[in-house]
Amino acid sequence: MKCSLVAKLLGAVVIAVGAASGAYAFGSVAVSPQSLPKNVFVVDMTTLAPPAAAAPMAGMAPMSAAAESITPIAGLLASANTDAGQKYAKVCSTCHSFGKGEAAKMGPNLYGIVGLKHAHMEGYAYSAAMKSMAKDTWTFEELNHFLFKPSAHIPGTKMPFAGIKSDSDRANVIAWLRTLSDKPEPLPTK
């Protein structure tokens, strides 16, 4: 009887291994994955650079916000497309909510952000860097600089987003954020 039980167990193992091997072989033939010509999501490696006070890691240059010029937002907002801004901001909805009174997600709710103070959302756990700016207001230009490269504009921010490098995309998003308010801030003049 022991021999019969051992034979059955050994047979079951052989069948299971055979079935798994067959499924793997069939899957390899049925589905042939292809590599994309370029990455779908590009990670900005400069956000991984050490703080300015620390020595840079081998092969990495220290971050410099001044090295990258940012186009002033006032002129760009005049021709901004709020529909395009709302569409682009779907990326942001992974971490942020936008509706009035909605709870925070991984990031704070952004309803009425234009004209509010930094670290504005009660009960949200902001970084020390953001809390230190609690008296400052999110103006159009402040949002322009922050959204260009959050980690460079407010070193120590918890926001892991690389930024919006395109001037028009940034202006579209800011113009759309402006509409999320009971009383939208007036557009800046040039």
Prediction pTM value = 0.65
Gap between the Cα atoms of 11 and 7, Å rounded: 6
Spatial contact of 109 and 102, defined as CB atoms under 8 Å apart: yes
For residue range 4-13, list pLDDT tens digits in order.
Answer: 877 888 888 8
Nearest to 171 by CA among 107, 78, 67, 91: 78
Q: What average pLDDT does range 163-182 have in this prediction? A: 95
Q: What average pLDDT does range 15-35 have in this prediction? A: 75
For residue range 64-111, list pLDDT tens digits in order.
Answer: 444 468 899 999 999 999 999 999 999 999 999 999 999 999 999 999
Name the CATH code of domain 67-179 (choices 1.10.357.10, 3.40.50.720, 1.10.760.10, 2.70.50.30).
Answer: 1.10.760.10
Q: Which sign, positive or negative, has the C-alpha torsion 89, 100, 107, 67? A: positive
Spatial contact of 159 and 89, defined as CB atoms under 8 Å apart: no
For residue range 45-67, list pLDDT tens digits in order.
Answer: 554 444 444 444 344 333 444 44
Question: With 80 as the cut, is the pLDDT of residue 157 above it?
Answer: yes
